[in-house]
Amino acid sequence: MRKILVTGGAGFIGSSFVQRAIDALHDSRVVNLDSLTYAGNLQNLEAVAKHPRYRFVRGDIRDRALLGEIFTAENIDTVVHFAAESHVDRSIVGPADFIETNVVGTFTLLEAARNAWLKDGVNKRDSRFIHVSTDEVYGSLGDTGAFTETTPYDPRSPYSASKAASDHLVSAYFHTYGLATLITNCSNNYGPYQFPEKLIPLVIHNAVSGKSLPVYGDGKNVRDWLYVADHCDAILKVLAAGRPGETYNIGGSSERQNLTVVETICDLLDRRLGLLPGDKPRRSLITFVKDRPGHDRRYAIDATKIKRELGWAPSMSFEDGMRLTVDWYLEHQSWTEAVTSGAYRDYYRRMYDER
């Protein structure tokens, strides 16, 4: 029976993982530690909230004493570490929180695991520390090629630099102390419960209500999109059979230019809701705005290793995933309303209206 500490399990990917872990690992127990920042939302976890193998703890991954209590009381043998500040634009406006949570927080969690699991250099039986990271640590690609696990790190935003720093710490704990760590570097996720500061939910939210759709620069930056459930399945495979000390790249093999993504959403919504007043298609809402500073041009993942070693491949096509996602947001407008309250409006004004 795995006793799993999930960090950041009230966020977008973490909440999807918690549900899948409870469903797929029948003899596991999941303790979800989340400080509930603006990005964490317990509504995302209503389906498991009362499950006998689930417990929620509100707390910060930098709280060393709390971590010690949880490791001991719950006899934790597995960490799946999602908790992070995750939005690039926010890291540009205010990098300090990214260093605190992503670097200091990961360090604190590693120390707690080391203290709990390593006795005389011997790992607690079957312990695993999975660090969930990003393809952004590899930097920006030209028109061709894809990131492999051996691509040199070249982070360019405070967010990706903080994730790169945390990856290096995780790797150091494997090499120095023998902690059973594994790192996953994944491409852009999308799907239900993603906070509407990220491109896809932001565009859906604005396009439903006829607001302008901000596209940075020329709209030709490329991201490799992966449906969130596929990412969580990949992490479950890494937990089941990944080799400690290894890195696994995870990607959707679904490269799209941002403008194409935005146009796809516009067309899906026109079909679902009809055209805007005056028979205007939603593509007419597209507005090119000032580019993100240091905006990485293209990301693409080579996921050969995880496919070959662990038998994982994405199951959802971009087209089906986008249909599901748009439908989910249409059916859960109260969720979006709840998370786009006062603080979100201030953020949106600073990020778009004032630039």
Which amino acid, residue 94? G
Task: List, in sequence order, every residue forming a beta bridge with 214; answer none if it has no partner.
Answer: 287
Retrieve residue 138's tokens: 């590899």
Task: List, in sequence order, every residue forming a beta bridge with 186; answer none if it has no partner.
Answer: 134, 250
3-state secondary structure 168-217: HHHHHHHHHHCCCEEEEEECCEECCCCCCCCHHHHHHHHHHCCCCEEEEC
* Pick 78 or 101: Cβ nearer ligand NAD: 101
- Rounded Cα–Cα distance for residues 78 and 248 (Å): 18
* Pick 112 or 213: Cβ nearer ligand DAU: 213
Token pair 């690609």: residue: 141
Q: Which residues between 136 and 165 bind ligand DAU (CB under 6 A)?
A: 136
Among 67, 77, 105, 180, binds ligand NAD (CB under 6 A): 105
The string over 301-328, giving b where at least 16 C-beta atoms fall within 10 Å of a residue's C-beta and e elsewhere, is: bbbebbbeebebebebebeebbebbbeb
* Site track for ligand NAD across 161-190, x = CB under 6 A: --x----------------------x-xx-
Question: Is 216 an interacting residue with respect to ligand DAU (CB under 6 A)?
Answer: yes
How many chain residues interact with ligand DAU (CB under 6 A)?
A: 19
The answer to whether 159 is a known catalytic residue is yes
* Pick 25 or 234: Cβ nearer ligand DAU: 234
CA distances from 331 to 193, 325, 327, 352 (A): 12, 10, 6, 26
Question: Is 285 an interacting residue with respect to ligand DAU (CB under 6 A)?
Answer: no
Active site residues: 135-136, 159
Interaction site with ligand DAU (CB under 6 A): 86-88, 134-136, 187-188, 198-199, 202, 214-216, 221, 223, 258, 292, 299
Interaction site with ligand NAD (CB under 6 A): 7-8, 10-14, 34-37, 39-40, 60-62, 82-84, 86, 101, 105, 132, 134, 163, 186, 188-189, 195
